[in-house]
Homo-oligomer: A and B are copies of this chain.
Amino acid sequence: MQRFLDLADFERTEVKDLLGLAARLQKKPDPHALAGKVLGLLFMNPSLRTLASFQSGMMRLGGSVFVITPGQGTWQLETRSGAVMNGASAEHIKEAVPVMASYCDALGVRMFAEGRNLQADINETQFKMIADLCEKPLINLESAVNHPCQALADWYTMDELDVPERGKFVLSWVNHPRALPLAVPSATVHMAALRGMEVVVLRPDGYALPDAVMDKARAAAKASGGSVTETTDRAAALKGARVIYAKEWGSPQHYGDVEAESRMREYLNDWCVKDSWFKNTAEDCHLMHCLPVRRNVAVDDEVLDSARSVVIQEAFNRMVVQMAVLYRLLRNA
């Protein structure tokens, strides 16, 4: 394995193999596996889980980590090609990325969507620039429309919970004070489809995921024997669900138009997961969320504080699966 950028770069069997490695390393730790190896982490955006879990995971394998956070004690980075750099950014990623890569054995990069041009973000224009600049093993710590580490952890979590591979997986839009990127919903719908599940995307009018995202998930479903549909009908969607995966995202219809998008969301306060959502789900239906979650806006306290919520387990599994990713990238390197 040379890079971990998108779950779609791997066959279903390869993903299962990676999950198997994660399980083995969890059962039988290998604390010197990556002795002498250095992981570099570049965070263009905030993080808690990714920052902590990659450090802890790398250190538990005997390796070391350094972190660079532009704007926090480090220069702001320019990303535009051909820019005349007479503004706030002192350094271009064309220098920063190769330099950081030269110091480490693997590089992880977080770079959220720009949120201005939907097509550019769907094309991963920015992250592809990063990838082209990095000659070392590279890990996607969340890009414009992807978050493969989260997707892998969520798959692992469902396996732990014995959620059937053919079970009903409802990705439900939930509310948030502002438009969030498409990274997690896009990665999630694809992951659940690749796992072979009956995936339903439940969202209000105006919040349909882009065709490119849905098409990619449908292709994965086809190969895995699953299905992907979408609806605004909450009752129908939730009936028989094994998992409600709550996630906030901005309306692709008003991509980059903060005001118009914000007006749409005013009327959607009802999209906060409550106990009542589980009335007709499977009895042991789980609430999943990638965190951070805004309590009582996206998901109610009564759900997050109940046994249905597996959000802490998902977060812990970030470390577990990332250790397998690091192992694959660096152990055989």
Contact = CB atoms under 8 A, between A and B. Distances in A.
A94 B59 CA distance: 25
Contacts of A56: 38, 40, 64, 66, 103-104
Copies per assembly: 3
Interface in A87-131: 87, 90-92, 94-96, 98-100, 102-104
Interface residues of A, number: 63
Interface in A300-332: 301, 304-305, 311-312, 315-316, 319
A44 to B, nearest CB: 10
Interface stretch (A13-21, A75-83, A219-227): A75-83
Interface in A34-63: 35-36, 38, 40, 43, 46-49, 51-53, 55-57, 59-60
Contacts of A319: 102-103
Contact of A103 (B66, B293, B316): B316
15 contacts: A48-B99, A51-B66, A52-B68, A56-B104, A57-B103, A84-B295, A84-B296, A85-B297, A86-B177, A86-B297, A90-B292, A91-B293, A94-B304, A98-B312, A99-B312
